[in-house]
């Protein structure tokens, strides 16, 4: 497109195939001629998706907004495979090389990923909190903000615990698992069951993304509200009401439950994601007043803390003022028991001023 920031793709062909392979947070497309005798060499493109990048197949006459790269079909009517990126954080580059600073993929290269982490725990990168290290693509290629929150929450690990402290324990677990493999009394099904019942952090870095991948048609399409609702229901921690959040040292927000951990940033207090209002309150319109002023809300809080002595005083608290208040009354009228006598007719303005004075005295 005219506003796309990526390089021009120097590939022209009447009939070609697009194949793809993913590694962590990168995707490589290969464009190759269908005719083996054609002189056009294959072209590779490596994509990064940023926060909002995705591919979409749609009619060519109905291109979505922010479709920055398009591959057109020859059918009638034609369709377009579009790289859509509303925020423009994504990018593509020519060539087949993965970024050199990215480690093995947590999904497709699990054993290499696990070994790469455990053999490099002396790296200074692991001096940081575990929530920050999980975003380091040199070791956790494929883990992003919502995945780190879900992984730590399932294991009840404080996000600001030192990464090396958390991961060093896994070396001993690996040695124990090697010993169990040699145990003849354990069948393969028992070994698999033990691992499923007690997954460690590195295993969840593999299985939690796989949950999303296996259900991506239901979970990862924000264009369809029903599908996005399924993704929100899948989340257990990230953006979930009642969870706490803090900004890490890189400025990213981490959601968690419980204590943040010993390496939490100083000067910050965890913020709680507000819980949804009770449906009972929504269904009871009488519980809500159509007009509430700051002073009225304060009076209600005081009334809740100090229950009124009589229903008459409670009704007086709930009255809205008829006009602006100026100053405060210096005294408070005391109610005295007296025989009931017929009251003379009092003008309306006087009755209003008496009620206002009584309320000022309450203040």
DSSP codes of every residue in 249-297: TTS-EEEESS---TTPPTT--PEEPPPPPPHHHHH-GGGS-S---HHHH
| Residue 140 sits in the same domain as residue 207 | yes
Residues whose CB is less than 8 angstroms from the CB of residue 165 and which lie 6 or more positions away in sequence, other chains included: none
Q: What is the CATH number of the domain that holds 22?
A: 3.20.190.10
Same domain membership, residue 87 and residue 136: no
Query: In this model, does residue 120 exceed pLDDT 60?
Result: yes
Domain shared by 60 and 204, yes or no: no
pLDDT for the residue 36: 81
Mean pLDDT of 34-42: 87
- Asked if 140 and 24 sit in the same domain, the reply is no
208 in any annotated domain: yes
326 vs 66, residue with greater confidence: 66
Q: Are residues 147 and 209 in the same domain?
A: yes
pLDDT at 214 (0 to 100): 84
Same domain, 205 and 147: yes
Reported confidence tier of residue 298, pLDDT bands at 50, 70, 90: low
pLDDT range class, residue 354, cuts 50, 70, 90: low
pLDDT-based confidence at 208, cuts 50/70/90?
Answer: very high
The whole-number average pLDDT for the span 167-173 is 85
Strands (E), the chain: 16-23, 26-33, 43-48, 54-59, 67-72, 79-84, 91-94, 244-247, 253-256, 271-272
Q: 135 and 169 in contact (C-beta within 8 Å)? A: no
Q: Is residue 2 part of a domain?
A: no
- Work out the mean pLDDT of the chain and round it to a whole number: 78
Strand partners, 272: 244
Residue 306 has pLDDT above 60, yes or no: no
Domain limits for position 154? 110-159+200-219+230-273
For residues 261 and 270, is the Cβ–Cβ distance under 8 A? no
3 state DSSP class of 22: strand
Q: Mind giving me the DSSP string for 42-97?
A: PEEEEEE-TTT-EEEEEEGGGPPTTEEEEEE--SSS-EEEEEE-TT---EEEESSP
Please count the structural domains in the chain. 2
Q: State whether 66 and 204 are in the same domain.
A: no
Pair (87, 212) in one structural domain = no
Please indicate, yes or no, whether residues 118 and 266 belong to a single structural domain of this protein: yes
Query: Has residue 66 been placed in a domain?
Result: yes
The overall pTM is greater than 0.85: no
pLDDT value of residue 274:
76
Decide if pLDDT at 339 tops 70.
no
């Amino acid at each position: 497109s005219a506003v796309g920031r990526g390089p021009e793709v120097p590939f022209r062909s009447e009939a070609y195939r697009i194949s793809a392979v993913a590694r962590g947070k990168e995707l490589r497309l290969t464009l190759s001629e269908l005719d083996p005798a054609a002189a056009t060499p294959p072209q590779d493109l490596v994509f990064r998706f940023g926060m909002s990048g995705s591919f979409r197949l749609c009619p060519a006459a109905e291109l979505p907004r922010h479709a920055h790269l398009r591959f057109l079909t020859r059918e009638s009517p034609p369709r377009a495979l579009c790289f859509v990126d509303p925020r423009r954080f994504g990018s593509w580059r020519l060539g087949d090389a993965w970024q050199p600073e990215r480690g093995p993929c947590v999904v497709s290269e699990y054993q290499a990923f696990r070994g790469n982490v455990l053999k490099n725990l002396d790296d200074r990168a692991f001096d940081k909190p575990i929530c920050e290290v999980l975003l380091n693509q040199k070791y956790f290629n494929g883990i992003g903000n919502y995945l780190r929150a879900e992984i730590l929450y399932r294991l009840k690990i404080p996000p600001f615990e030192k990464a090396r402290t958390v991961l060093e324990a896994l070396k001993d677990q690996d040695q124990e698992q090697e010993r169990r493999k040699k145990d003849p009394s354990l069948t393969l099904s028992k070994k698999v069951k033990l691992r499923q019942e007690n997954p460690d952090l590195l295993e969840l870095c593999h299985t939690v993304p796989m949950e999303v991948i296996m259900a991506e048609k239901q979970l990862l399409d924000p264009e369809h509200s029903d599908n996005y609702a399924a993704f929100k229901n899948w989340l257990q921690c990230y953006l979930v009401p009642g969870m706490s959040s803090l900004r890490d040292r890189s400025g990213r927000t981490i959601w968690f439950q419980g204590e943040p951990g010993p390496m939490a940033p100083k000067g910050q207090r965890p913020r709680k994601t507000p819980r949804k209002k009770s449906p009972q309150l929504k269904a009871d319109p009488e519980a809500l007043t159509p007009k509430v002023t700051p002073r009225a809300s304060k009076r209600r809080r005081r009334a809740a803390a100090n229950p009124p002595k009589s229903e008459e005083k409670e009704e007086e608290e709930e009255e809205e003022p008829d006009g602006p208040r100026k100053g405060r009354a210096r005294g408070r009228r005391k109610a005295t028991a007296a025989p009931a006598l017929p009251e003379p007719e009092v003008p309306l303005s006087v009755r209003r001023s008496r009620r206002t004075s009584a309320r000022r005295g309450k203040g």
